[in-house]
């Protein structure tokens, strides 16, 4: 892990902590996520056979998280006026967005014309009322220690979403049930699966693959994954 990324992140979180009591729990959770995992070889080497054409299923810390519709909650917190927990039904009740977009993994495979449905981040983060200082969003996976961030500007791209359907079906467990980040402009590693917490902060920090050498701004064709 590059020390720079960790320092920058701890700075971000400390700001939230000093002004907002409830930020403390969020801080503890995120900071433990970022602790190095010892003794485990993580990565695409663990890819499983794909259920549908083109996809390869990645999971850095098996087994995959399982989803229970009755108890699952999505937390939205950090630099917000009103931290919230959404049930699956509440998530499904937010304005629905649909799109067709291509998906590119940095290792060279792509899936064209994927049909996604989900919620745009504008509609999602509005629920928690972001504070003016919020300029970045962390997406925390139920699969520890997978986490990644976007600037708020990136999250608000017109085709970025928190997706809950893939090709007309509720997101399957291998694809990140019940909800994953989708940002077609960026390589697959930014598209965090099994998202269970969305934390707003002041600036982005290095996520799982970025701590292992990939660019934080994972623009398809324009980042260090290109070629
Ligand atoms: N939680 C989690 N999210 C993840 C990954 C992962 O291993 N764990 N792999 C990423 C990578 S590198 C890619 S290419 C895509 C692959 O999506 P798929 O597993 O649905 O094919 O998921 C991304 N999101
Ligand atoms: Mo990937």
Identify which ligand lies nearest to the alpha carbon of 58. 1
Tens of pLDDT along 110-120? 999 999 999 99
- Burial (CB < 10 A; 0-12, 13-18, 19+), residue 204, is buried
Count CB atoms within 10 A of the CB of residue 168: 8
Q: How many Å lie between the centroid of ligand 2 and the Cα of residue 104?
A: 7
What residue ranges define each of the domains in the chain, with the CATH number in brackets?
6-212 (3.90.420.10)
Query: Does residue 80 contact residue 130 with C-beta atoms inside 8 Å?
Result: yes
Rounded distance between C-alpha atoms, residue 174 and residue 172, angstroms = 6
Nearest CA to ligand 1 atom 6: 59
Q: Which of 133, 39, 141 is nearest to 80 (CA)?
A: 133
Q: What is the pTM (predicted TM-score) of this model?
A: 0.82
Element (H, E) at 73: strand 73-78
Tens of pLDDT along 15-43? 333 344 444 455 445 655 554 333 233 33
Rounded distance between C-alpha atoms, residue 95 and residue 126, angstroms = 12
Q: How many Å lie between the centroid of ligand 2 and the Cα of residue 57?
A: 9
């Amino acid at each position: 892990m590059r020390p720079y990324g960790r320092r920058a992140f701890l700075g971000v979180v400390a700001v939230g902590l000093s002004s907002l009591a409830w930020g403390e729990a969020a801080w503890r959770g995120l900071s433990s996520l970022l602790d190095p995992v010892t003794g485990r070889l993580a990565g695409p080497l663990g890819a499983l056979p794909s259920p549908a054409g083109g996809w390869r299923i990645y999971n850095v810390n098996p087994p995959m998280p399982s989803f229970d519709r009755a108890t699952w909650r999505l937390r939205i917190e950090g630099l917000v006026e009103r931290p919230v927990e959404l049930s699956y039904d509440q998530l499904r009740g937010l304005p629905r967005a649909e799109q067709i977009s291509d998906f590119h993994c940095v290792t060279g495979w792509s899936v064209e014309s994927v049909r996604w449905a989900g919620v745009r981040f504008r509609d999602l983060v509005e629920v928690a009322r972001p504070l003016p200082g919020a300029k970045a969003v962390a997406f925390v996976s139920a699969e520890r220690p997978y986490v990644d961030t976007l600037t708020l500007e990136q999250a608000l791209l017109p085709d970025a979403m928190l997706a809950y359907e893939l090709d007309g079906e509720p997101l399957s467990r291998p694809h990140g049930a019940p909800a994953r980040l989708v940002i077609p402009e960026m390589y697959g590693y930014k598209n965090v699966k099994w998202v269970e917490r969305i934390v707003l902060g002041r600036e982005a920090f290095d996520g799982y693959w970025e701590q292992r050498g990939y660019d934080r701004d994972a623009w398809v064709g324009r980042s260090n994954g290109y070629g």
